[in-house]
A and B are shown apart, each in its own frame.
Chain A
Amino acid sequence: MTRTGISVKRFTAWRRRPWAGYAVVLAALAAIGVIYAGFSPQTDRAEAANANQAAAQASLENGKELFNKNCASCHGMNGEGVKDKDGRAIAPSLLGVGAASVDFQVSTGRMPAMNPGAQMPRKPPIAAFDTRIEKNYETPEEREEAHERQAEAQQNLDDLITYITSLDPGGPPIPPASAVDPSKGKVALGGKLFRTNCAQCHNFTGQGGALTGGKYAPPLSRDDVTPTQIYEAMLTGPQAMPVFNDSTLTPEEKQAIIAYVVQTREEPNASAAGLGRIGPVSEGLVAWLVGLGMLVLAAMWITAKKPKKLKKS
């Protein structure tokens, strides 16, 4: 306990220094270098084993550092969660939540949370974890750099997950890429399951919807909602969302739902304006403002006083 107490103090003082950010980046770069070396094919087995061990250690260290910096203030130094004096959870325990949960919360930017509200909003992940880096730069150097930053962010995320799961193993893992590939899901089945189990909150077309107390079901129609995140959300039930574990909805069924969500949002509208795909509310608004509005303008023109030029006749 004392050890952590001291380290918190030292860490708090340390992270305020102007060079702290760079130091983290450097450390991360070093870690990547080590890992890269670890996976490098030239190294022989013994070396590889050593390197792997070292890499794992570095990874854990980096994860811990990131955790202390970004998560510990709310979730506690050991991820045990924090309660207020009435015993209500301010931040839930992270012990045993599983990799999928951490990956979902951090990659959607919900964690680290900025300020507590009715619900944590989706937002761009903080720089250290932002894997969605723009890569279409003009010069190869810039592209290279972007790739590096992305790899680094991915590594940071992996390290954080490694660290948190090391506190208490258990909980669902991150689904493999093949399990979330929308092109392999059965869209028709996914549609049926989506309408029965998801649409009541997220709307037919994934536009989201209101819940009680200022909470809401977020839209699934945005492009940055990745198939992996959808899978993880079903698996872990973040915030108000119920859990759909793999024995209630099997991985194939989840894949079907993902296929339906992705297919629906990528499908074009049958006309130029989709009107938000939320149905009659926006349609009524358009009928009044555009339809009736244009016709009132036409009526005003038809019944307007005769043009000046003809008036003299």
Chain B
Amino acid sequence: MEKKPSSSLDYALVFGALMLLWVILSGKLDAFHLSLGLISCAAVTWMSGDLLIGAGSSLGLARRMVRLFRFLNYLLWLTWQIVLANIAVFKLAFAPRTAWQPHIVWHRTALTTDLEKFLLANSITLTPGTVTVRIFGDMLCIHAIDDVSAAGINGEMDRRIAHIFE
């Protein structure tokens, strides 16, 4: 993704996100603490607003909201996968040793940007029976703990992640 100069929308979004975090973490809604938050969030936005997420992309507000919504939707799906992963690991931990078939699988992904690959690697690690060991270009080195979980690496997750950013 090409880096473009940050727009005022970038700064507004970063400031909004920081301010929201401030209010949640401080928990005090009086004028003194809110103005402290305003000052520090403005300072951080001014100094590093162009470094934070989403900065430099030329997308409008509507597209970004769509992305955010899809991302949250993806997180829900991921949470369900985490539940399945934990049940699978729990079963395997108490299973006889013959139930384990640890091996390495390689997966070629069509995703291109670093953020997408990071999301994919993180999601693979969080889902049942698979851990991303390393990324080499477009190849992911994945350790699978049994055949069933290795079969789960079939590109469905790639499609879901590509759908967020399309």
Q: A and B: partners?
A: no
Q: Which residues of B come within 8 Å of A, CB atoms?
A: none
Interface residues of A (CB under 8 A from B): none
